[in-house]
Amino acid sequence: MDRRMFFKKGIGATILAGSYLALGSRESLFAWGPQPRPALPFDLVAVRGGEPEVMFRKGIEALGGIKAFVKKGQRVVIKPNMGWDVPPERGGNTNPKLMVEIVKQCLDAGAKEVYVFDHTCDDWRRCYRNSGIESAVKDAGAKVAPAHTEGYYHDVTVPAGKVLKRAKEHELVLESDVFFNVPILKNHGSARLTASLKNLMGDVWDRRFWHGNDLHQCIADFGTYRKPTLNIVDAYYVMKRNGPRGVSVEDVVTVKAQLMSADMVAVDTASAKLFGIDPMDVPHIQMAADQKVGRMDLENLNIKRIAI
């Protein structure tokens, strides 16, 4: 190849790559819209008294089994809370046993791929490792994806948002067929409570904007963007104070509970009650309910309670 040819080819390749990058806002490239949702027999399932994996088995069975949610060949993304460099017993991150069970069931149901990620607060490698989640779900067959640099996130609009109009969402969520939101229930210094609505803050890049522009409203706004296929709130270990990071195991009580619902507001309302605070004292839950993200009136919902 002579020099002129080289330049021609080089320029061609550059234009090609450049246009891909320029047009490549993932929104346009990937199929994205409301996913078909199964009609569920219950609005909310609450399980209490078992190990995390046992409670999940009972709960998902009550909702019609994992196959009601995961179809053969689908791409599943599970978003736990693994944002902190603390071991499982500190209650800062989702229980790895629960994560493993979900991954296994998804793969058994024929999922093509199961991804796990979180935009961590502490150093991401240490969080992934010390939460116990990375090695556990990898062994179970899931892929663990990084989320520590801006490149993994793509612009999305939040049409129903009051304050949060735009966000950068992790590409895996954008590309997912099934999206499980699996937070751990805990105290939170400013959000009051971490459950399903708050956990979605780990999907986005610029959290500083949320903190600087009415945290509760932003959490509620992002709830309007996309509803996870199912929210599974891990309340096995519950951090009662010093959240979201906690200082020692003395901050944690063993509650042994799990809550599941497709409705983030309902599951967070129940979570607040389980935690022992009035849901009305958690501003973002109420704001989300006002924005029709879900329902706070548990008394009118069809709830399945399972004691093990």
Binding site for other proteins (CB under 8 A): 46, 48-49, 85, 113, 115, 117, 121-123, 125-126, 130, 143-146, 148-149, 151-152, 171, 188-191, 207-209, 211-217, 240-242, 244-245, 247-248, 250-251, 253-255, 269-270, 273-274, 276, 281, 283, 298, 303, 305, 307
Q: Is 2 helix (H, G, I), strand (E, B) or coil?
A: coil
Nearer to other proteins, 24 or 37 (CB): 24
**Of 177, 197, 195, whose CA–CA distance to 186 is shortest?**
195
CB of 7 to other proteins, least distance (A): 21
CB of 2 to other proteins, least distance (A): 26
Question: Cβ distance 262 to 227 under 8 Å?
Answer: yes
CB of 268 to other proteins, least distance (A): 11
Nearer to other proteins, 228 or 244 (CB): 244
CB of 248 to other proteins, least distance (A): 5
Give the integer Cα–Cα distance in Å for 266 and 302. 11
Nearer to other proteins, 109 or 270 (CB): 270
CA distances, 177 to each of 57, 96, 267 (Å): 22, 23, 22
- State the DSSP code for 301: S
Chain centroid, CA 101 distance in Å: 16
CB of 46 to other proteins, least distance (A): 5
Nearer to other proteins, 37 or 41 (CB): 41
Give the integer Cα–Cα distance in Å for 198 and 268. 9
| Three-class HEC string of 188-231 | ECCCEEECHHHHHHHHECCHHHHHHCCHHHHHHHHHCCCCCCEE
Amino acid at 268: D
CB of 4 to other proteins, least distance (A): 26
Nearer to other proteins, 38 or 95 (CB): 95
Copy the structure tokens of residue 232: 């599974």
CA distances, 69 to each of 37, 46, 260, 305 (Å): 8, 18, 13, 20
CB of 13 to other proteins, least distance (A): 13
CA distances, 58 to each of 65, 70, 219 (Å): 9, 17, 30
CB of 71 to other proteins, least distance (A): 18
Nearer to other proteins, 57 or 188 (CB): 188
Q: Is 35 helix (H, G, I), strand (E, B) or coil?
A: coil
Nearer to other proteins, 37 or 254 (CB): 254
Nearer to other proteins, 181 or 187 (CB): 187
